Amino acid sequence: MRSSLQKAIDTITFPFRALTLFEEDRFGLSSLATERFDYVARHVRGHCLDLGCGRHDRFIQNHLGGKGVGIDVFAYEGLTPDQIVEDPTDLPFPDGSFATVTLIANFNHIPEPVRDPELAEVFRVLEPGGNVIITMGNPLAEILVHKLVEGYDRVLGTNIDMDGERGMHEDEDFFVPNREIAERLGRAGFTGSELHYFGTQWGLNHLMIGTKP
């Protein structure tokens, strides 16, 4: 977890960090990914499934000490074959396998027609009292960041844009409104729909939490 001093530094330097988009912590500053993981980790209740874990399964390995499982539908760098799941609406885990399921910066990339079936499957693999955590940015911020990383990779030859690496599809979105997320959580059986904004990102990013009764 970041110290109070680190959070203050991150808050002041947010515009610089948002524009440079460095993937790892540097210059004594937290990357946006580290910051996002830090906020999510505070709400993890136990053994965790990170859906759409991305490169190197960073959240589980670096922020939860390996206490969980990271899976993805795309074979990103650093993932093993058993971490690739072809159909996230049919997860290879028994009922009640996890205390928390996280969808970090990727719910908008779930194809719209399967968002409800995927949340229903998340509900199934959670134990009673478990929670699902979904992060989502401000609509304008999400669009700007997606365009920015795309431009960086094209002009500067960086490798930041994971969405571009696997391809952006028609039924994906740049963002999903909070109301839609809350409604989908309710249809899947979750209660609560808590909303927590990221103060050190000036409230331009946040997470929502649903709890399995």
pLDDT tens, position by position, 65-112: 999 999 999 999 999 999 999 999 999 999 999 999 999 999 999 999
Q: Tell me, what DSSP letter sits at residue 52?
A: T
Q: Does residue 147 sit in helix, strand or coil?
A: helix
Per-domain boundaries in the chain: 4-211
- pTM beyond cutoff 0.95: no
Give the CATH number of domain 4-211; options: 3.30.420.40, 3.40.50.300, 1.10.760.10, 3.40.50.150. Answer: 3.40.50.150
Q: What is the DSSP string of 159-205?
A: ---HHHHH---TT--S---HHHHHHHHHHHT-EEEEEEE-GGGTTSE
Residue 144: which residues within 8 A CB-CB, separation 6 or more?
A: none
Tokens representing 130 are 């478990």
Rounded Cα distance between 177 and 74, Å, is: 25
pLDDT digits (tens, 9 = 90+) for 146-158: 666 666 556 656 5
Residue 104: closest CA among 24, 186, 47, 48: 48
pLDDT at 130 > cutoff 90: yes
Confidence bin at 171 (pLDDT 50/70/90) = confident
